[in-house]
Amino acid sequence: MASRPCVLSDRERFPMLLGFDHLTCSEHVAVPVDIARQRGGTYWDPLATFGYLAARTRRIRFATQVLVLGYHHPLALAKRYGTLDRVSGGRLVLGLGVGSLEEEFRLLGAEFGGRGALAGDATAALRASLSSREPAYHGEHFDYAGLIVEPRAVQARVPLGIGGRTPRSLRRAVAHGDGWVPFGLPLDRLREMVGAAELPEGFEVVLSAGRPLDPSGDPDRTSEALRKVSDAGATLVSVALSVQSASHYVEQLEALAVLAGTTAATEARV
């Protein structure tokens, strides 16, 4: 679905009724002006946004793509997003990443150096804690026990999607997660990495279709984009749409659903 969530008036279940898998929301607190010119400056807070959307929907899932692990203690994430999982009826997919914006790390007083090792430990801690009333974890960076966290996630195993662009991030995803959400890699490199990895049954590979698509105005390019990421090994395709209004967004969703269902050789879900 789109890279940023959009409220569709009172048509609450529309995206899921068309067969879409989830909505996504990224995490940034404050982006430097010069960097915002390249990657954008508007980022809806995932917890507040998904909390609102959970009350207006029934079936579509909510995926953080991604939360920056270095900005949070694992128990804080377990409490906040475990609560979201509970109020949404078990629809959380927790996307997690190491983070790359050094200026934002400094702003928040987070350590930029060594963030990879910390993220690995935090991911393991989250896996041990998200669905547990009395979580316990003993690792290099996080060590706790004898605590109660309520409310907690309603899912017995909250799906974890691990972001990144390195073989290490893919190994972390296989070891502790349920999917890999890479970014910034050419499709041939993605195909090579996915093909070389021994992925568990049901493991998701979430690939972006690239720049915003125009399924109603340019269906051929849209079909080709879906086909390319599916061929690269995607099981889920993340799509941003080019839109001018809420009604145009609905039109684009309808057109995308048709194309995703009819594009030859495209087995990935959208």
1 vs 246, residue with greater confidence = 246
**Mean of the per-residue pLDDT values of the chain:** 90
Distance, CA of 21 to CA of 77 (rounded, Å): 23
Residue 97 pLDDT greater than 90, yes or no = yes
The pLDDT of residue 266 is 54
So what's the pLDDT on residue 45? 96
User: Quick one: average pLDDT of 118-131?
Assistant: 95
Res 18: pLDDT? 82
CB 47 within 8 A of CB 85: no
Say yes or no to pLDDT of 17 above 90: no
**Would you give the DSSP letter of residue 199?**
P
The strand pair at 143-144 and 137-138 is best described as antiparallel
Specify the pLDDT at position 101: 93
In 3-state terms, what secondary structure has residue 237? strand
Quote the pLDDT of residue 14: 52
Query: What does the pLDDT look like over 64-90, one tens digit per residue?
Result: 999 999 999 999 999 999 999 999 999
Mind listing the pLDDT tens digit for each residue in 147-183? 999 999 999 999 999 999 999 899 989 988 999 999 8
**Cα dist. 2→19, 33, 209 in Å?**
14, 24, 10
Is pLDDT above 90 for 3?
Answer: no
Q: What is the mean pLDDT of residues 179-194?
A: 92
* pLDDT above 50 for 12: no
Tokens of 164: 């990144």
User: pTM of the full predicted structure?
Assistant: 0.87
Written as six digits, the tokens of 117 are 């090792």
Establish whether the linkage from the previous residue to 29 is cis, with ω within 30° of 0. Answer: no
Q: Measured on CA atoms in the order 167, 173, 178, 182, is the torsion positive or negative?
A: negative
Spell out the residues 6+ positions from residue 245 whose beta carbon is closer than 8 angstroms to its own: none
DSSP character at residue 200? P
Apex 50 CA angle, 184 and 257, nearest 5: 65
The pLDDT confidence band at residue 192, using thresholds 50, 70 and 90, is very high
Is residue 262 pLDDT above 80, yes or no? no
Label the pairing between strands 179-182 and 204-208.
parallel
Residue 243: is its pLDDT beyond 60? yes
pLDDT of residue 7: 35
Provide the pLDDT for residue 8: 35
Radius of gyration of the chain (CA): 18
Please state, for a pLDDT cut of 90, what percent of the chain lies above it: 80
Higher pLDDT residue, 173 or 5? Answer: 173
The residues, ordered by sequence, that sit 6+ positions from 4 with a Cβ below 8 Å of its Cβ are 24, 25, 26, 42, 43, 44, 240
Q: Do 23 and 60 meet the contact criterion of CB atoms below 8 Å apart? A: yes
* 41-50, 108-117, 256-265: segment of lowest average pLDDT: 256-265
